[in-house]
Amino acid sequence: MDDIDRAILRELQTDGRVPYADLGPKVGLSPSAARQRLQRLIDTKVVQVVGVTDPMAMGGQAMALLGITVHGDARAVADALGHREEVVYSVLTSGGFDLFAEVVCRQPRDLLDFINDVVRAIDGVERIQAFPYFGIHTHRFAWDVG
């Protein structure tokens, strides 16, 4: 990544729908060159351009962060969870938990069923601690890209 790539990312963090006709001049490129640069960033998986929702604002949602302790390979558990549509984010970590999974379900009962019937049934899951969300305080997607 060079300075122009970082400038493109900064612009996208401000407005992910910025037209190439506006993006190019803002980063010192023609619109077609900006499109090619962004496409390269997308193709190399440096960036994804997506619409982000706030599940809590959509109503009728139950969200939680699950702290999971694993006996064995935490990557295998993370892989199994990654195939579930309820899991929107997962990270391998160290400390008191081997991985965290952020989950979104339609209602609290579905969250209970997911934890009890799905997560507990995954081979290697030793312990789960659920941290239910009452609201999202900070939801940030812009950070220093260098």
CATH number at residue 15: 1.10.10.10
Judge if 30 and 70 occupy the same domain.
no
Query: 142 in a domain, yes or no?
Result: no
Residue 122: exposed, middle, or buried by beta-carbon count in 10 A (0-12, 13-18, 19+)?
A: middle
Per-residue model confidence (pLDDT) at position 145: 74
Inform me whether the pLDDT recorded for 127 exceeds 90: yes
Number of structural domains the chain divides into = 2
- Write down the mean pLDDT value for the chain: 90
Inform me whether the pLDDT recorded for 14 exceeds 80: yes
Judge if 69 and 39 occupy the same domain.
no
Q: Taking the chain, what is the end-to-end CA distance rounded to the nearest angstrom? A: 10
Query: 56 in a domain, yes or no?
Result: no
Per-residue model confidence (pLDDT) at position 136: 76
Query: 92 in a domain, yes or no?
Result: yes
Q: Using one digit for the tens of pLDDT, what is the confidence trace for 23-49?
A: 999 999 999 999 999 999 999 988 888
Per-residue model confidence (pLDDT) at position 143: 66
Query: 51 in a domain, yes or no?
Result: no
Inform me whether the pLDDT recorded for 13 exceeds 90: no
Portion of the chain with pLDDT greater than 70, in percent:
91
- The runs of H, that is alpha helices, within 15-118 are 20-27, 31-43, 74-82, 108-113
Query: 139 in a domain, yes or no?
Result: no
- The runs of H, that is alpha helices, within 46-131 are 74-82, 108-113
Question: Average of pLDDT values for 52-62?
Answer: 71
Range of the domain at 123: 62-132
Q: Which two tokens stand for residue 140?
A: 């940030």
Per-residue model confidence (pLDDT) at position 48: 85
Closest CA to 131 of 55, 58, 68: 68
Query: 87 in a domain, yes or no?
Result: yes
pTM, to two decimals: 0.71
Query: 49 in a domain, yes or no?
Result: no
